Amino acid sequence: MKTVTHRVYNFNPGPAMLPFPVLEKIQQELLNYRETGMSVMEMTHRCKEFEAILENAKTLLKSLLVIPENYEILFLPGGARLQFAMIPMNLYLEGKPVDVLHTGEWSKQAIAELKKLTQYRLAGSTEDLMFTRLPDAHEIKLSANASYVHLVSNNTIYGTQWKTYPETGDVPLIGDMTSDILSRGVNVSKFGLIFASAQKNLGIAGVTIVIIRKDLLGRSKENLPVMLNYAEQVKGNSLVNTAPTFPIYVSGLVLEWVRDQGGVAAIQKANEEKAGILYDLIDASSLYQGTVRKQDRSMMNVVFVLRKGGEDLEKIFDKEASKNGLAGLKGHRSVGGFRASIYNAMLVEGVKALADFMKDFERKHA
Ligand SMILES: Cc1ncc(COP(=O)(O)O)c(C=O)c1O
């Protein structure tokens, strides 16, 4: 096999870096998957080999996230964004407005779809604070009559993350965990539905996992298009159409890798260490400034700006970081500055390399 000579530390927000052993496994199995004489990419989704791939991914996800028996797991096409439409189409109950916790760009996009499909209310919003923090408990006003509550667990662009989720009583809580699934332990039974597209912590673009409590399947009306109907997708075991087979295969490999690291608890510990390195550095620095209130800081996306030097110094930072093999650090255009996305696959060494670079840059430019 060819040796790899040029790999950078990849801080892209998603699609994001994959664990290296996963890439190696893909390479090994690419041309001839387990003596089938073909690639997973060429395989029918109805054969026993692919069925085993799907079952393996499901079983691993179930055990790693400790998903209770009364939940179904789906692997769907269309990205997390399709869920912004599928959720209201399936779960909205007439006359019961959806409660939304508006904490950034991805709740904004979810609201845009809700506007077309259902009634909704803002149960909390930090838009007037430029999403630099999450709503405090006393600022959240939930209705006992809502169809469900929509929440974004980790706000990828602004770098905020819920540490504890609000209590929603009998109203199902829906969690967009696109950018923090499997990064820390989560009590699945608090949620009616969890969804996450794969390209950050779960593999590559093209598949989205949906974990849905079984009783909610009763809300999917028969007149919905088959592909957009959770109950139909469950009946068809995510194989209603030609499923995104290769992305599902890669998700299975990523889940095996998570298991081999020691599971979600071990991953969480590493994530806490990685985030701690960067936030400690930022807090001690006279050049870097975090943009988020401390208790709401994300373990996945560390957002910071430069206190001085303006765009000129930002450009130099960018250029020098690239030269040092540190890629994908530019902040989202709506926030500016920088964002280090340190998902599960980012190694502690990668974060230490970034921290060393940042300290060195500060010494030179402070
Ligand atoms: C929290 C969150 N939700 C939803 C999305 C949209 O995901 P997709 O591009 O898979 O539709 C993203 C994308 O970055 C995200 O970070």
Q: Where in the chain is the domain with CATH 3.90.1150.10?
A: 263-365
**CA-199 nearest atom, ligand 1:** 10
How far is it, in rounded angstroms, from Cα 269 to Cα 154?
A: 17
CB-based contact 303:339 (threshold 8 Å): yes
**CA-81 nearest atom, ligand 1:** 11
Task: Report the mean per-residue pLDDT for the chain.
Answer: 97
Is it the case that residue 11 has pLDDT exceeding 70? yes
CB-based contact 151:84 (threshold 8 Å): no
Q: Which two tokens stand for residue 164?
A: 């504890």
pLDDT of residue 99: 98
Is it the case that residue 291 has pLDDT exceeding 70? yes
Name the packing angle between helices 348-365 and 310-323 (round to 10°): 140
Is it the case that residue 5 has pLDDT exceeding 70? no
Give the H/E segment covering residue 298: none
pLDDT of residue 6: 84
For residues 251-272, average pLDDT: 98
Q: Model confidence at 1, in pLDDT bands (50, 70, 90)? A: low
Q: Model confidence at 220, in pLDDT bands (50, 70, 90)? A: very high
Q: Which two tokens stand for residue 196?
A: 């996450």
Is it the case that residue 4 has pLDDT exceeding 80? no
CATH dotted code for 263-365: 3.90.1150.10
User: Ligand 1 centre and the CA of 341: distance in Å?
Assistant: 14
Is it the case that residue 8 has pLDDT exceeding 70? yes
Q: Which two tokens stand for residue 345?
A: 């696959």
Q: Model confidence at 193, in pLDDT bands (50, 70, 90)? A: very high
Residue 96 has what DSSP assignment? B
For residues 254-278, average pLDDT: 98
Apex 195 CA angle, 100 and 189, nearest 5:
85
Mutating to test ligand 1, I would choose from 180, 197, 333, 343 the residue with most ligand atoms within 8 A of its C-beta, which is 197
Is it the case that residue 2 has pLDDT exceeding 80? no
- Whether ligand 1 lies within 6 angstroms of the CB of 14 is answered as yes
CATH dotted code for 23-261: 3.40.640.10
> Which among 82, 117, 64 is positioned nearest to 210, based on CA atoms?
82
- Whether ligand 1 lies within 6 angstroms of the CB of 83 is answered as no
Catalytic residues: 106, 176, 200
pLDDT digits (tens, 9 = 90+) for 171-183: 999 999 999 999 9
pLDDT digits (tens, 9 = 90+) for 67-110: 999 999 999 999 999 999 999 999 999 999 999 999 999 999 99
pTM, two decimal places:
0.97
Strands of the sheet with 288-290, listed across from one edge: 288-290, 301-306, 338-341
Q: Where in the chain is the domain with CATH 3.40.640.10?
A: 23-261
Mutating to test ligand 1, I would choose from 103, 105, 177, 179 the residue with most ligand atoms within 8 A of its C-beta, which is 179
Residue 93 has what DSSP assignment? B
pLDDT digits (tens, 9 = 90+) for 18-76: 999 999 999 999 999 999 999 999 999 999 999 999 999 999 999 999 999 999 999 99
